Amino acid sequence: MSTIIRVESLVKEFPVHTSILDFMLGGKRSEVVHAVDDVSFSIARGEVLGLAGESGSGKSTTGRLLLKLIEPTSGKIEYNGTDLSAHSQREMENLREKMQIVFQDPNSSLSPRMSVGQAIGHPLKIHNLGGAAERKERVLDLMEKIGLTPADFLYRKYPHQLSGGQCQRVVLARALVTNPDFIVADEPIAMADVSVRALILELMKKLKKEFDLTYLFITHDLATAKYLCDRVAIMYLGRIIEIGSKEDIFLHPHHPYTKALLDAVPIPDPDQRRKDEVARGEIPSAINPPGGCHFHPRCPHTMAACKEGRPPLKEIAPNHLSACLLDRA
Amino acid sequence: MATPILSINNLSIDYPISIGTVKAVEDVSIDLYEGEALGLVGESGCGKSTLGLSILRIVRPPGKIVAGKMLYKSEDILKMKEKEVLKLRGNNIAMVFQNPLTSLNPLMRLDRHFLETIQRHDPGIQKQEALEKAEDILDKLGIEKQRLYEFPHQFSGGMRQRIMIGLGLIMNPDIIIADEPTTSLDVIVEAGFVDLLNNLRKEFNLSIILITHNLGLVAEIVDRVAVMYGGQIMEIGTADQIFHTPKHPYTHGLITCVPNIKLDQEVLTTMEGNPPDLVNPPAGCRFSPRCPKVMEVCREKAPGFTFFGDGHKAACWLNDHGGTG
């Protein structure tokens, strides 16, 4: 399998503005949030990589960095072997024909003043693909495939006239219309109702086959990640702490944080109620994260070494990497 | 189980709007027993939150409770005077809302939130005594006492949600209605919240109504489940009955359409179509336009409840023909 996306030592820092008063009175220095802190991974063509973690772990920022919707502080992003760091804004815009993103909330990512047809056809217009008639044909054809039927009827509708599930389909169709091969899906089902979620997940699976897509699937819901992804990366405070195949992560998790996350997932079956109480505590601030391994204050297996230095991601089984010092004497 | 602590009988709530009347809740009957946790599940717009609020007799205008009875310890809440309802809220039945950040006043420190609540219900109480009460409850929630003098923004999301529970519990109510209490929380924090709720339940002998669309959460907490669709109850039963032997196709669809981390699912059940228009609901069973097992009779006549023993009942025609959902 060829690699479609390769990310190396990606870093994104956001400055936190300190007010002049704090600076003068308290001598407070300007600080930064380490949203993404030295992250590396690659995605093979045709694969679904899940990026999972709690809110504030930097998973959405990573997704946006891949398309250079925000500039990375440092690090390298490769798409099909070409380094994107040197690409200008203009070049990136052209490239987004092939790399697309689907956001969480379909209502806020659709213009209320654009009809369904206009919205889905808009990327074609931006990228100057085909004439008006061709575009319309392409849009209607895609609407048919994505289940926005009757297509002729819905073509003229506006977002407020659609249901939540239909809106999410419009967003998906808009992302697919330029025939991309890579899609970042940022929590595409988080806002949807339970029955709509299943529909969207099934649709994403079907589209992946039909259009030969590669997904980066960002989610906080591990059960969904397990359902859709081939490989999963777990993020905590800007770092990937474990990455491996679906089986590695869900059947043989290594990092204590991964285990804690898995234990906390509620199971829709009253026979499988959790017996033990979960680890207390919440994700700390990314402005002054704990030193060493970020997870050490919450970790049940903390050792002295965990407080010093960042534990490197190390292979613990073929293609299964974990950033934990345990069983590594 | 003895007599129910709360008994809702044939409750209907209408919202008259310009194009007709939205029948948000129609002919709903549910009992809640002492010390029991009841889950009210359904998708958005099914009337679960409206039903929850109406127990405290809060119905946003132009909404109106048009029929039914709501007995709290054999007293009808719907017939109470406004003053009595004010006393009931908080003292006997408390509510915990979805988003703690919009429910807490950002300009008030926690002590004032607690004082306001306590003094409102118990005007004669000494300030010192009230503060001690507040400190006690924070302690039970796992928040340090000193933090009583901090502002809401100084707390994390999980703590804020615990504070909301604390404000609900401070007057020692018998019933807590929690409306999507964990939607804004992360998984680990959510699990901590579940543990807390389960502990508090035992300690205060609480009855809980948990309103949510999160079936995982329901499976973790509740004893019985009521499934709502289009303003009506489709099925009621114990958690075990609902999750393992559902009798209504909607319940079955709802349970099998969520990814389960313990299973290797190849495909998820999908339910095409949209929730019903409650101004002009479909004739017959409201789920019939989306039902995978729809029959002729479903589109003509609304089904009544079929009883399966142990309080398990479902409103589906299939059960009259010996089928299961």
SS3 B51: helix
Work out the pLDDT band at A224, boundaries 50, 70, 90. Answer: very high
Return the closest-CA partner of residue B290 out of B278, B264, B272, B306.
B272
pLDDT at B1: 52
pLDDT at B247: 95
- Residue A224 identity (one-letter amino acid): T
Question: In the predicted model, what is the mean pLDDT of chain A?
Answer: 90
Q: First vs last Cα of chain A: how many Å apart?
A: 35
pLDDT at A207 over 90: yes
Helix ranges (H only) for chain A are 20-26, 59-66, 89-95, 106-109, 116-126, 132-146, 151-154, 164-176, 194-211, 222-228, 246-251, 256-264
pLDDT at A279: 65
Return the closest-CA partner of residue B311 out of B222, B237, B219, B228.
B237
Choose the closest CB to A269 out of B243, B265, B269: B243
Check CB contact of B154 with chain A, cutoff 8 Å. Answer: no
For the entire predicted model, the pTM comes to 0.88
Return the closest-CA partner of residue A230 out of A249, A202, A256, A207.
A249
Contacts of A260 in chain B (CB under 8 A): 188
Inter-chain CB proximity A195 and B43 less than 8 Å:
yes
pLDDT at A280: 65
What is the C-alpha separation between B197 and B37, in angstroms, rounded? 10
Inter-chain CB proximity B191 and A263 less than 8 Å:
yes
Work out the pLDDT band at A286, boundaries 50, 70, 90. Answer: confident
SS3 A278: coil
pLDDT at B109: 94
Dump pLDDT digits (tens) for A92-115. Answer: 989 999 999 998 888 889 999 999
| B130: Cβ contacts below 8 Å, ≥ 6 apart | B114, B115, B118, B119, B122
Contacts of B291 in chain A (CB under 8 A): none
pLDDT at A27: 66
Check CB contact of B219 with chain A, cutoff 8 Å. Answer: yes
For the range A59-62, what are the long-range contacts, defined as Cβ-Cβ under 8 Å and sequence gap of 24 or more? A59/A218, A59/A220, A59/A235, A60/A186, A60/A187, A60/A218, A61/A12, A61/A35, A61/A36, A62/A7, A62/A10, A62/A36, A62/A218, A62/A235
Beta-sheet pairing, B37-41 with B207-212: parallel
pLDDT at B143: 87
Strand partners, A102: A185
What is the C-alpha separation between B226 and B234, in angstroms, rounded? 8
User: If you count them, how many residues does chain B have?
Assistant: 325
What is the C-alpha separation between A176 and A178, in angstroms, rounded? 6
Dump pLDDT digits (tens) for B156-206. Answer: 888 888 899 899 999 989 999 999 888 878 888 888 888 888 988 988 889
What is the C-alpha separation between A299 and B288, in angstroms, rounded? 50
pLDDT at A165: 84
pLDDT at A70: 92
Return the closest-CA partner of residue B249 out of B191, B294, B205, B208.
B294
Dump pLDDT digits (tens) for A133-177. Answer: 999 999 999 999 998 988 999 999 999 998 888 899 999 999 999
Residue with tokens 């507040």, as numbered in its chain: B134
pLDDT at B325 over 70: no
Residue of chain A whose Cα is closest to the Cα of B198? A277
pLDDT at A28: 65
pLDDT at A222 over 90: yes
Tokens of residue B14, six digits: 């209408």
Inter-chain CB proximity B271 and A226 less than 8 Å:
no
Mean pLDDT throughout B18-23? 89
Dump pLDDT digits (tens) for A262-284. Answer: 999 999 998 988 877 766 677 78
The ipTM assigned to this model is 0.82
pLDDT at B324 over 60: no
Position with higher pLDDT, A328 vs A47: A47
Work out the pLDDT band at B322, boundaries 50, 70, 90. Answer: very low
SS3 B106: coil
Percentage with pLDDT > 90 across chain A: 64
Strand partners, B40: B211, B226
Choose the closest CB to B269 out of A198, A272, A278: A198
Contacts of B261 in chain A (CB under 8 A): 222-223, 226, 250, 262, 265, 267
Lowest mean pLDDT across A211-215, B66-70, B299-303, B318-322:
B318-322
Backbone φ and ψ of A59, nearest 5°: -70, -40
Query: Which helix (H) or strand (E) element contains residue B197?
Result: helix B187-204
pLDDT at B323: 44
- Residue B124 identity (one-letter amino acid): G
Report the alpha-carbon angle B315-B317-B321, nearest 5. 130
pLDDT at A158: 94
pLDDT at A85: 85
Residue with tokens 């973690």, as numbered in its chain: A53
pLDDT at B161: 87
Inter-chain CB proximity A272 and B219 less than 8 Å:
yes
pLDDT at B237 over 80: yes
- Residue A210 identity (one-letter amino acid): E
Strand partners, A322: A242, A314
Mean pLDDT throughout A315-327? 90
Tokens of residue A39, six digits: 């992250």
What is the C-alpha separation between A170 and A147, in angstroms, rounded? 10
What is the C-alpha separation between A219 and A156, in angstroms, rounded? 32
Count Cβ neighbours within 10 Å for each residue of B82-108 and write b for 16 or more, e otherwise.
eeeeeebbbebbbbbbbbbeebbeeee
- Residue A78 identity (one-letter amino acid): E
Contacts of A55 in chain B (CB under 8 A): 186
Work out the pLDDT band at B231, boundaries 50, 70, 90. Answer: very high
- Residue B317 identity (one-letter amino acid): W
Contact (CB, 8 A) for B9 and B74: no
Return the closest-CA partner of residue B15 out of B56, B57, B50.
B50
Query: Which helix (H) or strand (E) element contains residue B69?
Result: strand B64-72
- A contact test, residue of B258, B263, B269 with most A CBs within 10 A: B258
